[in-house]
Structure 1
Amino acid sequence: MALSTTGNATELVRIDDISPAPRVYSVTPSDLGDALRLGWEDFKAVPSHAIMLCLIYPVIGIVLARTVLGYSILPLLFPLAAGFALLGPFAAIGLYELSRRRETGEDASAWHALDVTRSPSFGAMLALGLALLVLFLTWIATAQAIYVSTFGNAPAAGIPSFVSEVLTTSQGWQLIVVGCGTGLMFALVALCVSAVSFPLMLDRHASVMDAVTTSLRVVARNPVTMAIWGFMVAALLVLGSLPFFLGLAVVIPLLGHASWHLYRMVVERNPNPPVMPERNPMKRHAADFPVSLFRGRED
């Protein structure tokens, strides 16, 4: 026990309730390969629900792009694909739970991915996820503004014409340089605040501030390795977006599982890991269908 004095009041505080900041470790580029290998093992062990979780993700991106442009998504296909890196850490929270369960020898199934919603830090995850969504929308709006300032408001005539204009004209090269430079700044912000934030919140039930602070410390400790990781993530997401974002059904779960293992390598393990709250069994009624399928499922 420890004494904590506030004003004239003295409180007894349990020492084990005080959660010091976890230590962060140095990692090398070879560790990134190990993280991807372990992530692939997780994906092979539980591929069905990983794909189920991520098939909706590219669809949302396509719908969002249609909403942003209203007439053509062609000029924003590349920014949209690269921008998935901004939302990826939040989109993979269910995958972190699956990797955690496999690591501890617990059952891992599609329904267990939804157990992340029972975490005491789920609200914090949503808050940080919302911040990443705002960053993503800001990036899309910025990319659109860069395209309009370079080529005007006229919609792209078609894929061959658009590719030719971008790769063979001075305006196209300007678009590439300015767009990639701006996108790099957005990606750097996302990487710094979310490199290990979501796994940390799931593993330690940390607050948003503690998670983001630890993520910043990880990046500061490993600037080169984390920069390489960021480029690897962006490259895999762009490749997974071809064709028609279908490859993301494999890339997203791979990166999600790998991110969990990278977190394990770079942040010290909690000697007293918090226990995930038990599921509350509940009665189901016919009127609850199909909502009852997604809650309170018995193992």
Structure 2
Amino acid sequence: MGMTGQAPVAPATVASNLELADLRAALAAGWHDFIAQPAFGLFFAGIYVGAGLFVCYALFTWGEAAWLIPAAAGFPLIAPFVAVGLYEVSRRREAGLPMSWSAVLGALRGRGDEQILSMGVIVFVAFGFWLMVAHGIFAIFLAESGIGSESLELFQTQAGMMMLVVGSALGALMALAFYSITVISLPMLVDREVDFLTAIIMSLATVRTNTFVMLAWAAWIAVALFIAMIPLFLGLLVVLPVLGHATWHLYRRAVGP
């Protein structure tokens, strides 16, 4: 299994003194992990990029180009689950454990207790819920604009601009809630023998006790992912692995034994 060589870990406590310097340190450590083991980062990011390009192609092919923006806005919701393998890479480097594809891919199965699988269900349900909300918003403003969904001209109309404002506000709230429950919980499930509800509680506690720093991290992730998606998603080949590894190191700083 991917967790070979790891003993059960005692219940954790949450640090309440995170600083912006910790974010810089996490990013630096994340970059070093990516450079040390680039094949794993490029593999997981490549799957994500490939999925993004497929969605774009499908929407244009089906004449639903106007759906590109809501799809792109919701796509980052599944990024934390894609990063599970990256957490395992960072964990194994930190512990000095041998690196292998079987071990890293095995992390996606969790510790044999289906806790990561349960989190994966939450991830994809959240993504599906966002698409439903986006569809409702889209239908309301599309009717007002009188422009079909096959055209991007919708976003040049007043109704289209209002749709972006309303959709962005609701999307940001959903993304923040989702970030709060996953930013610490997923790396914790890779690292420790805990149930997913306990991991979610620890994640929420970390955000609550370090609100400014964790919101700064959320903002940095959002901006970095947005910029990385602009050039045909290709920037994600570097940005996603570095952020994934960095999130592991931030988790290690935030949650102690």
Greater Cα shift, 38-47 or 55-64: 55-64
Q: Hey, what's the Cα distance between the residues in 2 that align with 1:98 and 1:264?
A: 14
Q: Counterpart of 1:173?
A: 161
Alpha-carbon deviations, 1:106-141, whole Å to 9, x = none?
233444321314642561111111111111121123
Q: Counterpart of 2:93?
A: 102
Q: Counterpart of 1:293?
A: none
Greater Cα shift, 172-181 or 87-96: 172-181
Greater Cα shift, 255-264 or 149-158: 149-158
Q: Is the 8 A contact 1:32 1:262 kept in 2?
A: yes
What is the number of equivalent residue pairs in this alignment?
247
Alpha-carbon deviations, 1:236-284, whole Å to 9, x = none?
111221222222222221111011001011111x3xxxxxxxxxxxxxx
TM-score (norm 2): 0.86
Q: Which amino acid aligns with 2:249?
A: H
Q: Counterpart of 2:148?
A: 154
CA RMSD of aligned residues (A): 2.5
- Give the 3-state SS of the residue equivalent to 2:14 in structure 1: coil
Q: Hey, what's the Cα distance between the residues in 1 that align with 2:40 and 2:27?
A: 19
Shift of 1:65: 6.5
Q: Hey, what's the Cα distance between the residues in 2 that align with 1:210 and 1:130?
A: 16
Q: Is the 8 A contact 1:199 1:260 kept in 2?
A: yes
Q: Hey, what's the Cα distance between the residues in 2 that align with 1:136 and 1:178?
A: 18
Change (3 A) 1:73 1:58: farther
The percent of aligned pairs where both chains have the same amino acid is 34
Shift of 1:23: 3.2
- Report whether the alignment pairs 1:123 with 2:117: no
Q: Tell which structure's C-alpha radius of gyration is larger.
A: 1
- Give the 3-state SS of the residue equivalent to 1:198 in structure 2: helix
Which segments of 5 or more consecutive residues in structure 2 lack a partner in the other structure? 1-7
Q: Counterpart of 1:89?
A: 80
Q: Hey, what's the Cα distance between the residues in 2 that align with 1:91 and 1:263?
A: 17
Q: Hey, what's the Cα distance between the residues in 1 that align with 2:46 and 2:244?
A: 14
- Report whether the alignment pairs 1:49 with 2:43: no
Shift of 1:151: 2.5
- Report whether the alignment pairs 1:260 with 2:248: yes
Q: Hey, what's the Cα distance between the residues in 2 that align with 1:209 and 1:31?
A: 26
- Report whether the alignment pairs 1:243 with 2:231: yes
Q: Counterpart of 1:204?
A: 192
Change (3 A) 1:82 1:23: same
TM-score (norm 1): 0.74
Q: Is the 8 A contact 2:83 2:241 kept in 1?
A: yes
